[in-house]
Structure 1
Amino acid sequence: MDRQNKNRRGLLVILSSPSGAGKSFHSRILRDWDPSIRFSVSATTRPPRIGEEDGVDYHFVSREEFKDMAAEGEMLEHAEVFDNLYGSPKAPVKAAMGAGQDTLFDIDWQGGQQIRNSSLGNDVVSIFLLPPSMAVLEGRLRSRGQDSEAVIANRMAKSLDEVSHWAEYDYVLVNDDAQACAEKLKAILTAERARRERQISLNDFVRQLQTEYEDQE
């Protein structure tokens, strides 16, 4: 776990995968590993479902409010899905970055592309999780026992489209071993946090080293 958050800029960590490939599971693993990682809470125009809490599950806003936020550049990414608008508010992400806190995004390739092309794109780390096979992916969807054949077929078609964008990501992992995949995710974050350009206090530290050496001469 990184204990030097105050000495670096926070990351925007995009974790994408087809439905059933382990995105939600590994999001929980990362946040258990480092509780300082915040999860980006999306804004949406759809009504709350039973048990959902405003500001925790989603920021529930009207269509007019959402469109105003998007028009004023307050969304990092946004899209319309099944007649409802969804998006990632920019302000809490920028605040987290300034505090050296990473933000995790559970979004698809289109949302990820918008964030990479935004003003905060230099601090994006994008990771795509591939299933071991499409047969395994379909089996996971069926094992949930919640969807009809038509819904499963639609999800599989969408999954194939998601997989076709794998090469647009910085890192691609095959999730055939959950524990091994989790360790690779942790290693990626550890390395990305240590990149020179993200260490905002390095200039002062190096100057201190130089001053100490010059004082000894």
Structure 2
Amino acid sequence: MNNIPADISAEKISKSHGKMIILTAPSGAGKSSIARYLLSNHADKLAFSVSATTRAPRGQEKDGIDYYFVSVETFKENIQKEAFLEWEMVYEGKYYGTLKSELNRIWNSGKLPIMDIDVKGAIHVRKQFGAECLSIFIEPPSVEALEQRLIGRGTETTEAIQTRLSKARYELSFQPHFDQTVTNDQLDDACKKAEQLILDFIG
């Protein structure tokens, strides 16, 4: 399970890079569903930035499409190579990161990358790119609603869900750090609001 491009150790962000979109949220708030809507409706303008992670695939997730699923050893090797724009140990022993090569690949195709990333990673990227980056924080209508969504997934233990909820409460405090906030109460409405924000940003 390792489709990370082999020749990325010297990869740098192109000086002539374009704009980028960040979607960030506590786990279960719906950012991945919103990202899928945006990508399906604007495939001519947007492309998904595939993150690397050390966690195991869930459900029908595919390596190289949903994530680059790698070992902790491989992930740490790529940290040493400075291959990541940002990376975090989001949960104990579970790393996530954005490869510089992914963004260059998308910009070189003439599209804007959509990054579906962790809150801390999103803050880090936003600080680096400033006005060239649109950061959208997706919030759940309540922590209770978030808990029901995580239970409804049926993919994690009760202990894992409680860990995610504890982290979500912490992450919600960072909402003011982002350019825009979309409350995902009704998914269709949230998708359309995020879509309009992005179209306005693209100009």
Aligned to 1:124: 133
Instruction: Please tell me whether residue 35 in structure 1 is matched to residue 38 in structure 2.
Output: no
* 1:168 alignment partner AA: H
Q: Structure 1 residue 19 and structure 2 residue 23: aligned?
A: no
1:4-15 pair list within 5 angstroms: 10-15=18-23
Judging by fraction of residues, say which structure has more helix: 1
3-state secondary structure, aligned to 1:18? coil
| SS of match in other structure, 1:106 | strand
**Residues 147 and 39 of structure 1, relative CA distance in 2, 3 Å threshold:** same
Name the SS of the counterpart of 2:37 in structure 1. Answer: helix
Mapped pair 1:91 → 2:101: yes
C-alpha root-mean-square deviation of aligned residues, in Å? 2.6
What residue number does 2:8 align with? none
Q: Structure 1 residues 152-161 or 58-67, which shifts more?
A: 58-67
- Number of equivalenced pairs: 186
Equivalences for residues 1-217 of structure 1 within 5 A: 10-36=18-44, 37-45=46-54, 53-61=62-70, 63=72, 65-80=74-89, 81-118=91-128, 120-194=129-203
Q: Secondary structure at 2:117's aligned position in 1?
A: coil
Deviations 1:20-72 (A, max 9, x none): 22112111111111123211112234566786544223334555553443334
What SS does the corresponding residue of 2:136 show, helix, strand or coil? strand
SS, match of residue 139 in structure 1: helix
Query: C-alpha deviations, 1:184-207, integer Å up to 9, x for none?
Result: 11111111111xxxxxxxxxxxxx
Worse-superposed segment, 11-20 or 66-75:
66-75
8 Å CA contact 1:9, 1:100 repeated in 2: no
Q: Please, what TM-score do these two structures have when normalized by structure 1?
A: 0.73
Structure 1 runs not aligned, ≥5 long: 1-7, 195-217
Q: How many percent identity over aligned positions?
A: 35
Does the CA contact (< 8 Å) of 1:41 and 1:59 recur in 2?
yes
